Amino acid sequence: MTTLALAVASVAQAQAQAQARASAKASTRDPRFALKGGWTDAQQAISNLSLVAHREKPEGFANAANLGDFALLNGDLAFDGKTMIQGGFHGFQVWDISSPSNPTLRLAFPCPGGQGDPSIYKNLLFYSVEENRGRVDCGAQGVEATASAERFRGVRIFDISDLDHPKQVAAVQTCRGSHTHTLVPDPKDPGVVYVYVSGTAGVRPSAELAGCNDGSPANDTSIARFRIDVIKVTVADPQSARVVSSPRVFADRTGKAISGLWKGGTHGTGTQETSETDQCHDITVYPAIGLAAGACSGNGILLDISNPANPKRVDEVIDPNFSYWHSATFNNDGTKVLFSDEWGGGMGAKCRDTDRMTWGADAIFSITKRKMTAQGHYKIPAAQGPLENCVAHNGTLIPVPGRDIMVQAWYQGGLSVFDFTNPKKPVEIAYFDRGPIDTKDLALAGFWSAYWYNGNIYGSEIGRGLDVLELTPSAFLTQNEIDAAKSAVVAGLNPQLQEKLVWTPSFVVARAYLDQLERDAGLPAAQVTAISASLGMAEQQSGPARKALLTSLGARLDKSAIGAKGAVRVRALSATVKGLAAAAE
Amino acid sequence: MASRFRCAVGIFLPMLRLRYLCLASAIAFGAAGASALAAQPPVASVTPAVTPADIRFMQEMLGHHAQALEMTALIATRTRRVDLQTLAERITNSQTDEMALMRRWLARQGATVPETHVMSAHDMSATAGMSDADAMPLMPGMLTPPQMAALRAAKGAAFDRLFLRGMIQHHTGALTMVAALLDTAGAAQESGINRFVIDVDADQRAEISRMRRISVRR
């Protein structure tokens, strides 16, 4: 089906859904509504989370006279071991997070140029630059000439072997700069990493960077729009990094037209106006399933990335509620993808009780045989005021086994933790929010990113610094589920690069599944109680006794699964129990 | 107006009452030379200064946007085409938001914020000045007084044609203004205006291509 046919087919459906949801409104009775504002003393609302640390922006990274100063916005986060890099428009900050409740600033490194999205691969830090003021030498004075070899727009590469003294070892220029980027490790060679560059700013003059062309797609196939750029980096020789391909991932099926996807405009009466598809904002890669999800201005697309230098589009979707396709997150088993709409570009107050709940929201799609099907939407249920820029932004999965749970930043709408296991009816679990940063004017602030990393949620606050939070148990999420999530430890985390999360069989993972069976009545209550007792007994034993008890429990669970409402979960529990049995010596 | 950024070392130089330039840093970092890649973190957080060209661009773009609103205000009484009404609503929204942003930005620089006044369709008179923008020389793409008069006088299909042609001309002019700014040495370095011109460029391109498609359909 062509995009156009898809558009026609989904308009009727979209209008029906829009009508059904016409009465759905953001709540003004939510504690997050009408919080008192302030830079450092805003009122806060928090639910099922605890704020374990807050750190102000470092010296030189804030401007009290202009709280939304674009030159100084905090941006995205990348993690490696006990280190977190907080990017931003003015430079990056290196945090020691050995103790998450006591993050320590190790280095504030000015290197202006926005957005400063960071990623880390081995000893290299990758860093996006798109603004006109960006300089190769990281200087802050900008570039006077309109075409200059001093200007830098693209991806910087720093060697951060010595975290206290980052050394810029390469800087790869691109025609539209780099708004965001995504690392794609070479599946065959750990010494090679590819970088997908998403440029969204204007095209540079060819006098500044040869080959950059800002023509019309109809009569010119060499233009710098309607493509992504792929940089190949050899870790041992970063100086050789260069753009190796510029895939035309929006081309029509015949390959003749480079602008084969959404042309921009509305989808019919009462629908949103969607941007033209001439760029990706984010490309989220999930190497474990060989796919990437591109949030590409007017479309959500799926790419086959088995050959990282030449991603191939395998599917595309539209959503008549979307203004600008911004970001994407797969669920862990790769059967769903959640796209976010950045209606208003992040600068608008789009969570007022007058704004639609399906606009500026997340749209969840199921994935079957590499085809996406629309399921439902999620938007924070709380209304926000006119001084709070608010729309869906960056988040990650929270590794609770057996459920699809995510934490997401909503700018001045705060951060929200929600469950999208049922993609038609996502449910909020927890939140944290502050009142507006500026009590008189709409200033760009709030959470840029909110990411789960090895047991805590880290929020990059655009105007206020850094927040670290911890989940607390509630009716929506038990302590066992939280502890199971904490057991899925990763070595590092980069934006838009998803790793398959795995849980080593443990009693806490087993109990997390059991709590879910109890909550959803996936097994009769008496059985849940009996299984819990068996788990408890097994845990008190060791060696062959434990092994015997767990083996027998595993067999019982396999029987219970047959015909059970929660059969899938019971089998997951059984696998965990058998894994524990195997580990018992 | 207070300096937005502190200079650890250097000479404070008031620039056009706009912002202070930290001379010492500028000199120090102008001399990157030999090892261009070596990142040299500045000792003070300075950002590139706002230039007179930036200020003029924002002031002129305010007047430019104001004319778009004058044009879209005519839609309700002169056409019944739903696609044009939807288009006009979209243009009205985006230009109004951007005008608010331009006013905030100019006020923050301590620069003059030009008065703009949009006539409603009712209080229209052929001779009334629409805005201070009318007193300014016409910016690229802006409709001339005779073009505006013809648009006001037209109805139905004739209006639709003139409106689309006029708005494409108007928006194309905005792209010219952005390109001219980006082609001015030292301009569009400050992050706020840099972001703004990226957005204006993207929005107007999108609206132009949409208007072209509407034109073709008729």
> Using one digit for the tens of pLDDT, what is the confidence trace for A171-229?
999 999 999 999 999 999 999 999 999 999 999 999 999 999 988 777 677 899 999 99
Helix (H) or strand (E) holding B107: helix B82-108
CB atoms within 10 A of CB A581: 19
Name the band, by pLDDT with cuts 50, 70 and 90, for residue A15. very low
Interatomic CA distance for residues B80 and B91, integer angstroms: 17
Q: In chain A, what is the straight-line distance between the N-terminal and C-terminal CA atoms, in Å? A: 56
* Burial of residue B126, with CB atoms counted within 10 A of its CB: 0-12 exposed, 13-18 middle, 19 or more buried: exposed
Using the beta-carbon criterion (under 8 Å), do A141 and B29 form an inter-chain contact? yes
Contacts of B38 in chain A (CB under 8 A): 137, 167-168
Using DSSP's 3-state secondary structure scheme, residue B57 falls into helix
Instruction: Give yes or no for a contact between A151 and A132, defined as CB atoms under 8 angstroms apart.
Output: yes
Q: What is the pLDDT of residues A276-323, one digit of tens each?
A: 999 999 999 999 999 999 999 999 999 999 999 999 999 999 999 999
Mutation choice for B interface testing from A141, A212, A262, A296 by most B CBs within 10 A? A141
Using the beta-carbon criterion (under 8 Å), do B41 and A131 form an inter-chain contact? no
Name the band, by pLDDT with cuts 50, 70 and 90, for residue B97. confident
Residue of B nearest to A218 (CA): B209
For A141, A269, A551, B28, the CA distances from B25, given in Å and listed in that order, are 8, 55, 71, 5
Does B82 lie at the interface with A, CB-CB under 8 angstroms? yes
Does B123 lie at the interface with A, CB-CB under 8 angstroms? no
Using the beta-carbon criterion (under 8 Å), do A144 and B108 form an inter-chain contact? no
Q: What is the pLDDT of residues A413-455, one digit of tens each?
A: 999 999 999 999 999 999 999 999 999 988 999 999 999 999 9
Using the beta-carbon criterion (under 8 Å), do B29 and A139 form an inter-chain contact? yes
Residue of B nearest to A92 (CA): B41
Q: Which of A110, A137, A264 sits opposite B32 (nearest CB)?
A: A137
Interatomic CA distance for residues A316 and A550, integer angstroms: 46
- pLDDT for position A3: 42
Using the beta-carbon criterion (under 8 Å), do A150 and B32 form an inter-chain contact? yes
A8 has a pLDDT exceeding 80: no
Q: What is the pLDDT of residues B143-158, one digit of tens each?
A: 999 999 999 999 999 9
- pLDDT for position B32: 32
Using the beta-carbon criterion (under 8 Å), do B40 and A139 form an inter-chain contact? yes
Helix (H) or strand (E) holding A550: helix A543-561
A144 has a pLDDT exceeding 80: yes
What is the residue whose two structure tokens read 């087993």?
Answer: A510
Interatomic CA distance for residues B150 and A567, integer angstroms: 72
Instruction: Look up residue A221 and give its amino acid.
Output: T
Average pLDDT over every residue of A88-99: 97
Contacts of A265 in chain B (CB under 8 A): 210, 213
B40 has a pLDDT exceeding 90: no
Does B175 lie at the interface with A, CB-CB under 8 angstroms? no
User: Which tops the pLDDT comparison, B106 or B133?
Assistant: B106
Interatomic CA distance for residues B149 and B142, integer angstroms: 13
- Per-residue tokens: A363: 């749209």
| Total-model pTM | 0.89
Q: What is the pLDDT of residues A515-559, one digit of tens each?
A: 999 999 999 999 999 999 999 999 999 999 999 999 999 999 999
Contacts of B202 in chain A (CB under 8 A): 200, 275
Q: What is the largest CA-CA distance in chain B?
A: 66
Interatomic CA distance for residues A183 and A166, integer angstroms: 19
- pLDDT for position B123: 40
- Per-residue tokens: A484: 């199971």
Using the beta-carbon criterion (under 8 Å), do A269 and B45 form an inter-chain contact? no
- pLDDT for position B86: 87
Using the beta-carbon criterion (under 8 Å), do A63 and B199 form an inter-chain contact? no
Does B92 lie at the interface with A, CB-CB under 8 angstroms? no
Instruction: Give yes or no for a contact between B98 and B199, defined as CB atoms under 8 angstroms apart.
Output: yes
Q: Which of A139, A167, A269 sits opposite B32 (nearest CB)?
A: A139
Strand arrangement of the beta sheet that strand A371-378 belongs to? A325-330, A336-341, A362-368, A371-378
Crossing angle (nearest 10°) for helices A543-561 and A525-540: 160
Contacts of B199 in chain A (CB under 8 A): 345
Residue of B nearest to A61 (CA): B45
Alpha carbon A181 to chain centroid distance? 12
A377 has a pLDDT exceeding 90: yes
Q: What is the interface size between A and B, counted as CB pairs within 8 Å?
A: 134
Q: Which of B45, B183, B205 sits opposite A90 (nearest CB)?
A: B45
Average pLDDT over every residue of A464-490: 98
B5 has a pLDDT exceeding 50: no
Q: In chain B, what is the straight-line distance between the N-terminal and C-terminal CA atoms, in Å? A: 53
Using the beta-carbon criterion (under 8 Å), do A138 and B39 form an inter-chain contact? yes
Using the beta-carbon criterion (under 8 Å), do A138 and B30 form an inter-chain contact? no
Using the beta-carbon criterion (under 8 Å), do B189 and A133 form an inter-chain contact? yes
